[in-house]
Chains A and B, each alone.
Chain A
Amino acid sequence: MSTKISSPSARVGRPIAALALATATLFAVSACSGAASTEADGETTLTVQISAEWGPMMDILVSTFEAENPGVTVELQTITPEQKSTTNSQLISSSNPPDVAQASGDWRDLARNGDLEPLDDIFEEIAPRLTEGTAEQLQVDGTYYGVPTGNAYVGMAYYNVELFEEAGIEIPADRRIASNADLYDIVNKLKAVGAEGVAIGGTGGYQFGWLVDGLLASATSEEELAGFLSSADPSADLDVSYTDPAFVQSLETLKAWGDNGVFQEGYLGADPAQASALYYQGIAGMILGGSWYVGQFEENNLEFTSDFLILPPVDGAEDSKMLLITGTSMVVPSAGANVELAKKFVELWQSDEMQLQAVANTDFSFPNVTTVDLSALTIAPLGAAIVEQASSAGTFPMWSAVVPGPVGQQVIDPNVQGMLAGASTPEEVAAKQQTAIEGAR
């Protein structure tokens, strides 16, 4: 009779092999597990992407939609501005996108690739009510794909009223800082009382673009500006060049602001949240912002009063205005689980009731439709002042919001940051922008 004697290596090897097999099996099983279904017990979950500051608006919109659609739960997914402009395109074109997404990157490519649901059917009723200049920003090749979140105004400089009084700064009657010299005077007076000038987030990736938008619009005629706005469209003639004097002068003005200490110390290394912190603490006398900042001032219970001014135009120009943006466009991914429900949601968003109650009266933004009863607006006085300024003085369109991000904002902002750091000249930045636009065409 023979006796089997196992070798020492086999005695050690078998348990190890068994453990390895079990571990690998565990990984295999976990990797194969699918995503949670949006339907459970007859309930439907509608996923909607939002930004962090949309809370008060979405509370009203979501509760209204859920009340009108029993059995539907709206799940909000917060994304950052950075996620929106970078990885969100891949999410939208994936097989598991949210039902309602924030338009991202060059979303027109997504539309042409069939990743977005056409919305012409719901725009039959909405289109006639849109504010002027809105429709074109929502269409791709004549078909509606985007829904605006509301009109917003950008590029104003909010200021600390009490600090300005302490510094002895006289406020212009029409809220416009007339010239660069006047701007430097304001900043110097703020510094004389120990405060900083205009707080700006240099690493945010978009605020330098706002400044270029305003300066460029002030430096160009309507025709020239239209040329810049359509410069990335291959089907449009390229009648302007970014090396033209208007664009270069805009950059030179911005560089002069930086060289003259208009912005806070260390602004090139600060993000927008850190810039806001300086303003909220009363360290910076001004902050570059948008109309939605009004709601944030309320939320943060500032210990001082805020008002706003319009930054000066390029030297020699007379006109300086706020910039109008239709806000982020919301889109409905074609591969979403609940396409028809998503279309109902964005359609509700454009109703007069929601434009009034959710968009405007929460101080988030302003209605992007013309049929809202403006007398029913209960926005903060500062918000009302912004609307009044826009109505009386008009607004400029935003170049960085119209030109696709990969050849617009994503190019100009870091290049301006480099220019302000002394690494390049305005002419070099202008040349880089021209190269980017030519590459896109």
Chain B
Amino acid sequence: MVKTMESTGLRLVGTRAPGVTARKRRQKVLMAVTILPAVLMIVAFFGVPALQAVILSVSRWSGVGDPTLVGADNYVTVLSSPLFYASLVRTLLYAAATSLGITLIATFLAAAVSSGVAGSRFYRVIWFAPAVAPAAAVGVFWSTAFQPRIGTVNAILGGLGLGDDHAWLARTDTAIYVLIFVSIWGGVGFAFLLLLGGMEQIPLSVYEAARIDGASALRQFFSITLPLVRPVLAITATLQLIWAFNGFTLVWGLTKGGPAESTLTLPVLVYKEGFQFFRFGEASTVAVIAGVILIVIGFFAMRLSQSQQGDK
């Protein structure tokens, strides 16, 4: 009997058995068919609206009738508008301050809970509670709380002898700080849970070894905890930045972008341009530009996170 490679079960290096190739092809087809509905959903509910926004950004439309293509007119108008640049800078600063505040506070809280401070189980719930409150309700609550004479904050300050007529939301130089405060208050809970999860993944043996070597709790935090949760920190900070940048409900509920546009962030500007002034073309232009900025920020954040993981 002549022996062939097939009859002996041998094959050339780099080739697969015929049955294996067909099976892998079937698997690929199956996977493609399986994820196709999800891809279609993403295209339908994200891709198409995004494309429509881009088309609208090069159109003039008042919300009634058909849009009219105007080329780059909207982009020229928006990119030469001082209001747009002021709003952009304000939004970036607001988002950065909110993200930084949330990340710092959440890190501190997570470190405290993961170290087993008394009442940890209670704190896990109570510090997460603001995160589940609807943003509109949070806006209404804090808007009233910061009112002079009738607000909770002023009542507490009045009780402490610090006066009860502070009108932070009515002043152009202080309204933005109220926004940042409320945003941090609402965002700390979720970030706290993320970071707590990351910290609790660190093996206890690492801390024990550090303790044996004489490292203080503070030294352990900066030399062990922070470096090991850095990827989670990066993701948390990036997400909070994006969410604050895109945040509309809280700003609208508290100040509607006022007084005197001192809290006019890009999402509020988009809303006003579209739904108050019925300039949907320019509103879409602002939205597209904001989206591009966020994509760039997200890209660099991902690269930074990946490079840090690569270093490890």
Contacts and interface: CB of A to CB of B under 8 A. Distances in A.
Nearest to A265: B148
Nearest to B280: A90
Interface stretch (B100-108, B117-125, B139-147, B297-305): B139-147
Interface in A242-267: 264-267
B37 A89 contact: no
A90 B64 CA distance: 8
State the main secondary structure of chain A at its contact with B: helix
B275 interface: yes
Given A269-B259, A283-B150, A418-B261, A423 B172 contact: yes
Given A283-B150, A421-B172, A268 B258 contact: yes
Interface string A9-36: 0100110011011011101100100000
Interface stretch (A138-146, A169-177, A274-282, A342-350): A274-282
A93 B37 contact: no
A8 to B, nearest CB: 13
Contact of B31 (A17, A105, A203, A421): A17
A13 B31 contact: yes
A115 to B, nearest CB: 7
A81 interface: no
Interface residues of A, number: 54
Contact of B260 (A27, A31, A113, A424): A424
A85 B175 contact: no
B64 A113 contact: yes
Interface residues of B, number: 44
A410 B272 CA distance: 9
Contact of A13 (B27, B38, B258): B27
A264 B44 CA distance: 50
A274 B64 contact: no
B81 interface: no
Interface in B53-85: 62-65
A202 B41 contact: no
Residue from B31, B33, B258 having most chain A Cβ neighbours under 10 A: B258
A105 B41 contact: no
Contacts of A271: 143
B260 A418 contact: yes
A106 B65 CA distance: 13
8 contacts: A24-B36, A27-B37, A196-B149, A270-B147, A270-B169, A414-B257, A418-B258, A423-B172
Interface of B: 27, 30-31, 33-38, 40-41, 44, 62-65, 143-144, 146-150, 165, 167-172, 175, 255-262, 271, 275-278
Given A17-B30, A264-B148, A268-B167, 7 more contacts: A24-B36, A105-B63, A109-B62, A202-B259, A265-B148, A267-B170, A405-B276
